[in-house]
Structure 1
Amino acid sequence: MENVKVGMLEGLVIRSQNLSFKSLFNRKINANAIAGEKGESSSPSSLNSPRPIPQLSPLANSVVSRCSRILQIPTEELQHRFDTELPESVKELLTYARNFLEFCSYQALNIVSGHADYLSDKEFQRLTFDMMLAWEAPSVESEQVDKETATCSNEEVEEDDGWSLFYSSSTNMAVQVDEKKTVGREAFARIAPVCAPVADIITVHNLFDALTSSSCHRLHFIVYEKYIKSLDKVVKAAKNALAPSIGNLELAEGEIILDVDGTIPTQPVLQHIGITAWPGRLTLTNYALYFESLGVGLYDKAVRYDLATDMKQIIKPELTGPLGARIFDKVVMYKSTTITDPVYFEFPEFKGNSRRDYWLDICLEILRAHKFIRKNNHRENQRSEVLARAILGIFRYRAVREAFHFFSSHYKTLLSFNLAESLPRGDLILETLSNRLFLLNVAAVQHDVSGSPYAKPLQKLSPVSLQTLRLFGLILQKDINPDEEVIIAADVCVGETNPLEIAVKKSVSDVGKAEAAQATVDQVKVEGIDTNLAVMKELMFPFLEASRRLQLLASWKDPYKSTVFLMLACYSILRGWIRYMFPSIFVFVALLMLWRRHFNKGKPLEPFRITPPATRNPVEQLLTLQEAISHVEALIQAGNIILLKIRALLFAVLPQATDRIVILLVAMAAVFAFVPPTYIFLLVFAEAFTREMPYRKETSDRWARRVREWWIRIPAAPVQLIKPVEDKKKKS
């Protein structure tokens, strides 16, 4: 009965000449395509009743058998290829089962990923989840879970007209997904990135943390299934957005709409330019932001804000409010050299700022992707692959956000270029990615029936993300033939760690230290100007005390100590010892730190004790702030006056004062030209230190008074304030 059913399906495939998703697993394959250069063929019985491999666990045998049917290659032939084609390093006894499982899984998923509708198929979800489960227990020696080898029930087999894409009723090898079983981080990281839309090597661990945030960091099948369905929904929505009905947008070739906001009346997007605000619809593509102002029932022509070309764009969070008041933290600011005033996009919501944060993240991802392209001078294929990686990352972020209401933190973002920007040593991740992109070549994809990238070592890599978008119907390049059958070979190798993953792990190793340090920073932050000044005063106490004692010596209140200090300082300057002052200080501090490290090892650092000033009410704090601002303003005014008077001297506004300055400058030039620097430094130090000496105090005060009177008589250069001309016309 089953052979009849298979024959009927094969006949339908031959008559329609349509390579559908299900026919991939049911039709016969040409003998040459199966056997390759060896010319071997596989009988249907060997595919429908695969022989279990003794080294594998029951679940791993189930996964291998399903991979065998997808590839139309018997399990014995798969094992033979693994033993003969792969290097000895991946065939060690302890890792043989796991690496062979990866070998079969990667080839099968590379074939499956060549079809546009595999995300919506339940059996794909079950197969990939079973691959993760089998990866954690691949061999017979692995720890067994109760009822791990339970077979599919009859009801499961009879679903979808009695035929399953990955399970065959003619074998008892298939293992039904047990929703009580869970998958760990490493298994997910080894299997999920093989399918480019499901996960990216750079952010796969963050994706796993997002999916398992409420399940003790173990992935349940229900959560995984929900994520894949949400991802499929996002991809189809992006494909539907390519329809010509997207009103006022004039999209360029290869431009894809990634998300749209502001279409719901209760959740508008407000554009602020100057003091004007206008509701409308905001659209993000892989090249620009578009804002369409809402007119009388219709949207006006879209205004384009470029993200691709180098125009010194700045995108950052901002505050906004009514009449320009900075109250609400719900705005994304866009600024570039092509616009005079910054543009603010406000995302109003009653609670939180999640909408703003989401749009900030995805806009920055596109902007940073284009900066990465310009920095490394990538060619056409490489540029398209970079943008495709960014697009798929945004799709994953949307899927997780819509399905689980997840919002990424600083180091837990699901966007690759944002993550590289925030991680310590993230530049090394981008450098590694750039080196991998230079190996890209569209022709490097092997048109092998098995989809195996292992038979002949590839010198170039396949643009996996770009080909994935093409298969989804989202075209980035016009030179790719849409009718060409392409097998997507993922950039993942059996038993090896991808260089990108190595770079990410090195960067993530420093994240814990950075987060712990940031936690201590958040704990010691105090509120109030007076309290912060008190903390700073206590922290600067050693320097303030040293300065106070130096001023005490320079005041000559204790002539004996001041004389001794003066003689020692002058002798040190003449002997040239002064040059050793800073090195001595550095060595002393280093020795002090080593001493503290040795004797305080394991002891917690005692908290710094601060006596805060008297508590002030908000009005008093505002008055203190106003006073501090007034002091700062006075200092700035004094600095401007000094600069304007120097300008007046340079332009000889007061000729007599200018003559004196000229004579002084010439004398100083002669001194610096003919007097050794040691003696100059000695004279300057002696003059400054003995200024308060009893024998010199009266003369020094008289000369200081004369200099102040002379400085007061110098006029300031004039200043004219020009009011800028504001263009208040609304931009169309």
Structure 2
Amino acid sequence: MDKDKEKDKDKDKEKESADKSPKAGNLWLIKSIFSKGSGGRDGEGDGEANNANPPIAFLSTFANSVVSRCSKILGVSTKELQEQFDTELPNDVKQCSSHARNFLEFCSFKALQVAISRPKYLSDKEFRRLTFDMMVAWEIPGVDSCLVDKDSSPNSKRDVLGEDVGSLFYSNSTRMAVQVDDEKTVGPEAFARMAPACPVIADITTVHNLFDVLTCSSGSRLHFLLYDKYLRGLEKVTKFVQNAGGPQASSNLSLAEEEIIVDIDGTVPTQPVLQHVGMSAWPGRLTLTNYALYFESGVGLYDKAVKYDLATEVKQVIKPELTGPLGARIFDKAVMYKSTLIEEPVYLEFPEFKGCSRRDYWLDICLEILRVHKFTRKYNLKGNQKSEALARAILGIFRFRAVRESFRISSSNYKTLLCFNLAESVPGGDMIMETLSSHLALISPKFGQPDTLGSPNSQRRPVLPAALMTLIRFKIVSSDDVKLDEEPTRQYGSICVGELNPLEDVVKQLKQNTGMAEAAQATVDQVKVEGIDANLAVMKELLLPIIKTHDCLQRLATWDEPFKSLMFVLFSGYLILRDWTKFVLPVFLILLATVMLWRRYIWRRRQLEAMKITAPPNKNPVEQLLILQEAVTQVESLIQNGNVVLLKIRALAFAVAPQATEKLAMLMVLAGVGVMILPGKYMMLLGWMEWCTRNSPLRRESSERGLRRLKEWWTRIPAAPVHLVKPDHNDKKRK
């Protein structure tokens, strides 16, 4: 009896506190609703609730905490979740080695589908804590994993009951939830697996880059404070987009029904956006939607917007460009837009005192919208398939902006967080786009019933568009065809319990290839040396085998050692007559491959020794400039000589020197007849013998005389005339 009285007193105190605070009252009401949904009655205590959800033997303490909270959200017991797991998933997912982790994923994904059905879940701190706990539990799912520190005192945990009583994710939190303390962090695999289950938090294609950005200052481990800050930044971005799409903005821009305002810049007078067209420039407001780019000239009061289309194929070009006053190319802070719909390029300048982060941000998001429309046209996506692709691009821009504004990091300091930009920048990005198009093809043009979560054939059946549904939940997109009251435990995304979908598999493989490419590029950066003379010394050492081979052939051709030269000529001539020259290149390639494989499998010296190159004497900057000037002069001389040769050939072709033209024509006729009559090997033999024996004792004098006559003949040929015409700048300005 005494215990019942104490319970009644505690219950009365909770009701009184709920009556005093409206917010606390709402939370208490939510708690009571979910207590009923989970089998608890108003008159029952916490002990019976615990008996309804006893700990699962094969799960760790932390995983049991997460599963218990998931069961509260779903309104079912943990025993019923186990039964659903056993009946809905195939046997290969229930293997002993991964049974605990797969069951944790099953419960987490189901609970997240309920959680993200509410439009303001990002603002709930307990949702952010729960998703982080899911990642931590993913790393320690079973009893054989690293368990939660048992020595942690209860005082080190947060007293959630006093702070967030009745939370949707922490009902009965003092006994059910194991909180994440300050030492708990998340690794890349857990984040990459769990975060994409909530489409606004991460995308499968860019989740690894996002993790690298969030953990760039924490040693590749994600702390809850960083994760919480990132989600709060996402919440601010979504609220901004919700408010930006008001009736005033739509009336000024004349937006189409399906257009969404993604971002706006130039509204602050101290940070204007300047539009340069020709020699003119004026400030204004820049707006990006999911279909076009709009510029409204003016300050405070804006003129009619000029539209730059990004959706249709009009050969758009968007790239960084230099700009400045009166057309001067001074500041690297502009984006150039060019298409067949406008007469001349438009330059949008983003002035700032230091750096060009504003310009880089707008360049990236404009290219993302442009590329997603190219993607939809290439794979002929229609209806909801196209809307899902656009929604993926929009959510990527939200994440990009949240990271940029929350952590104040320039986009040049990390890899891209935009899906379609990533596909253009990484090796094998076309594989990502092909796999993504295959996934989007599973989406029916009209919304239908999706496949159940974790079904073994889920990748072959139609699914609902996860990104588009996310924008609808945030009330950024409105659609009359979507039924928001459908069963929330259905699968809206491409995440499958216990297995990697094709897109995850491709991204994982490309991540490995990209890591190898980055490691190789690091070695390239290390071996780069400064100075022309130093680079020439390195190149000479690397080409030493070719140089030695050339010197050897040159010595044989000069007949300094007649016996060796004669043996070489006879042997090479015999190879040509026997038509064995076709085997020279294959034999060389096979020998080279054999040496490489021998070094790969038999040679035990794994570490390649560095080449020892004698460094040239150090030179001061003036001497370096003189060397550079001399090199430029030599290159200029080579180009001049090449032009002279081409002009003399032009003169021969047009018979400027009639006698030389006649001789050359007769020689070409004889050569043509010889090629038609004689077999190829004999022509090759004649040419090879001519080169090898021209310096022999028998032919040296006649060869020198013939070479002298050839030079004299070439000298007498005039060059064709050339007339340089300077461009007329006045005509160019008129155009």
Shorter-chain TM-score above 0.5: yes
Residues 448-459 of structure 1: pairs in structure 2 closer than 5 A:
452=453, 454=455, 459=461
Question: Which residue of the partner structure matches residue 209 of structure 2?
Answer: 206
After superposition, the C-alpha distances for 1:145-196 in whole angstroms (9 at most, x for unaligned) are 2367959999633546x53222334983244443443233333233221110
After superposition, the C-alpha distances for 1:413-445 in whole angstroms (9 at most, x for unaligned) are 322233333444333222222221111136666
- How big is the shift at 1:109? 0.8
Percentage identity across aligned positions? 54
Report whether the alignment pairs 1:460 with 2:462. Answer: yes
3-state SS of paired residue (1:510)? helix
Aligned CA distance change for structure 1 residues 126 and 24 (closer, same or farther; 3 Å): same
After superposition, the C-alpha distances for 1:281-322 in whole angstroms (9 at most, x for unaligned) are 4443333444455x5765555554444334454544556778
Question: Which residue of the partner structure matches residue 256 of structure 1?
Answer: 260
Question: Which residue of the partner structure matches residue 680 of structure 2?
Answer: 677
How far apart are the structure 2 equivalents of 1:629 and 1:340?
39
Residues 422-433 of structure 1: pairs in structure 2 closer than 5 A:
422-433=425-436
Question: Which residue of the partner structure matches residue 288 of structure 2?
Answer: 284
After superposition, the C-alpha distances for 1:37-62 in whole angstroms (9 at most, x for unaligned) are xxxx9675799663224324444333
Aligned CA distance change for structure 1 residues 330 and 182 (closer, same or farther; 3 Å): same
Residues 230-249 of structure 1: pairs in structure 2 closer than 5 A:
230-246=233-249, 249=253
Q: Which amino acid aligns with 1:372?
A: F
Aligned CA distance change for structure 1 residues 479 and 173 (closer, same or farther; 3 Å): closer
How far apart are the structure 1 equivalents of 2:367 and 2:246?
26
Q: Which amino acid aligns with 1:546?
A: T
Q: Which amino acid aligns with 2:362?
A: W
- How big is the shift at 1:660? 4.8
Question: Which residue of the partner structure matches residue 536 of structure 2?
Answer: 533
Aligned CA distance change for structure 1 residues 281 and 296 (closer, same or farther; 3 Å): closer
Aligned CA distance change for structure 1 residues 149 and 617 (closer, same or farther; 3 Å): closer
Question: Which residue of the partner structure matches residue 628 of structure 2?
Answer: 625
Q: Is the 8 A contact 2:233 2:403 kept in 1?
A: yes
Question: Which residue of the partner structure matches residue 713 of structure 2?
Answer: 707
- How big is the shift at 1:555? 4.1
- How big is the shift at 1:117? 0.9
Aligned CA distance change for structure 1 residues 340 and 595 (closer, same or farther; 3 Å): farther
3-state SS of paired residue (1:172)? helix
3-state SS of paired residue (1:695)? helix
After superposition, the C-alpha distances for 1:546-565 in whole angstroms (9 at most, x for unaligned) are 33343344345555544443
- How big is the shift at 1:209? 2.7
Aligned CA distance change for structure 1 residues 517 and 174 (closer, same or farther; 3 Å): closer
Q: Is the 8 A contact 2:283 2:299 kept in 1?
A: no
Q: Which amino acid aligns with 2:461?
A: Q
Aligned CA distance change for structure 1 residues 657 and 708 (closer, same or farther; 3 Å): closer
3-state SS of paired residue (2:700)? coil
Aligned CA distance change for structure 1 residues 165 and 600 (closer, same or farther; 3 Å): same
Aligned CA distance change for structure 1 residues 591 and 106 (closer, same or farther; 3 Å): closer
- Which residue among 690, 694, 698 is the counterpart of 2:700? 694
How far apart are the structure 2 equivalents of 1:201 and 1:639?
54
After superposition, the C-alpha distances for 1:684-717 in whole angstroms (9 at most, x for unaligned) are 223344444423234313431343035x235347
Structure 1 residues without counterparts, runs of 5 or longer: 9-19, 35-40
Could you tell which deviates more after superposition, 698-707 or 244-253?
Answer: 244-253
- How big is the shift at 1:27? 4.5
- Which residue among 542, 546, 557 is the counterpart of 2:545? 542
Report whether the alignment pairs 1:370 with 2:376. Answer: no
- How big is the shift at 1:384? 1.8
- How big is the shift at 1:463? 0.7
Q: Is the 8 A contact 1:423 1:508 kept in 2?
A: no
Question: Which residue of the partner structure matches residue 122 of structure 1?
Answer: 125
Question: Which residue of the partner structure matches residue 145 of structure 1?
Answer: 149
Please tell me the root mean square deviation across aligned C-alpha atoms, in Å.
4.2
- Which residue among 664, 671, 674 is the counterpart of 1:668? 671
Q: Is the 8 A contact 2:288 2:294 kept in 1?
A: yes
Task: Tell me the TM-score normalized by structure 1.
Answer: 0.83
Residues 707-726 of structure 1: pairs in structure 2 closer than 5 A:
707-710=713-716, 712-713=717-718, 715-716=720-721, 723=728
Report whether the alignment pairs 1:577 with 2:570. Answer: no
Aligned CA distance change for structure 1 residues 102 and 696 (closer, same or farther; 3 Å): same
Q: Which amino acid aligns with 2:246?
A: A
Task: Tell me the TM-score normalized by structure 2.
Answer: 0.82
Could you tell which deviates more after superposition, 675-684 or 643-652?
Answer: 643-652
After superposition, the C-alpha distances for 1:98-118 in whole angstroms (9 at most, x for unaligned) are 322222221111122122111
Q: Which amino acid aligns with 2:137?
A: A
Residues 495-644 of structure 1: pairs in structure 2 closer than 5 A:
495-556=498-559, 559-597=562-600, 601-602=604-605, 604-644=607-647
How far apart are the structure 2 equivalents of 1:340 and 1:530?
48
Question: Which residue of the partner structure matches residue 397 of structure 1?
Answer: 400
After superposition, the C-alpha distances for 1:444-503 in whole angstroms (9 at most, x for unaligned) are 66489xx8565995711221011111222222x866448765746232122222222211
After superposition, the C-alpha distances for 1:62-108 in whole angstroms (9 at most, x for unaligned) are 33333233223333322222222222222234433332222222111
3-state SS of paired residue (2:496)? coil
- How big is the shift at 1:206? 2.5
How far apart are the structure 1 equivalents of 2:93 and 2:152?
26
Structure 2 residues without counterparts, runs of 5 or longer: 1-7, 17-25
